[in-house]
Amino acid sequence: MFIWRMDVEAPRDEPIRFNRVRRKVYVYRFHHDGLRPFSRTAWGVRTEVYDWDDLRAEACSVYGPMGSGGLIETVTLAVVKPGTHHVIDRFHFAHEIQQGEMYWAMAQLFMQQGPQALPTFP
């Protein structure tokens, strides 16, 4: 039952929403509990709210157990305790370092200058 529910109810992505006015970042995370596959409260998407000033981008390179022995590069956002460098939480931001740098630059541009500063996309 757990495998079926993970296949049917798991979201395709977990979006991140940036609120420039309030300087908040909303992360929508999917939670599941394998011990309670029929519970409505143990499964679903939960919103977590973080302050923009407490976010740091981190690039990670890890060798993964792939058939050809590949390098996995990701960009995560770390939430730090205010005034320190102590990491409270991390969440996934991008699959590749170049893509993550581009997305992080656009997020910073949006939070500093607003939507009119973003490039136009076709």
> C-alpha distances in angstroms, 2 versus 29, 46, 70?
18, 19, 30
Alpha helices in 1-122 (DSSP H): 2-9, 97-113
What order do you get walking across the sheet with 87-94 strand by strand?
55-63, 71-80, 87-94
- Assessment of whether the complete model's pTM goes beyond 0.85: no
3-state helix, strand, coil in the chain (%, to 5): 25, 40, 35
What residue segments make up the domains of the chain, in order of their start?
Answer: 2-115
Q: Is the dihedral of CA 104, 14, 32, 54 positive or negative?
A: positive
pLDDT of residue 36: 72
Which among 15, 5, 9 has a CA at the least distance from the CA of 103?
A: 15
pLDDT 10s digit of each residue in the chain, 122 long?
656 655 555 555 668 899 999 999 999 887 777 677 667 677 777 888 999 999 999 998 877 776 766 788 889 999 999 988 899 999 889 888 999 999 999 999 999 998 898 888 77
pLDDT of residue 102: 92
pLDDT of residue 10: 55
pLDDT of residue 14: 67
* 3-class DSSP state of 104: helix
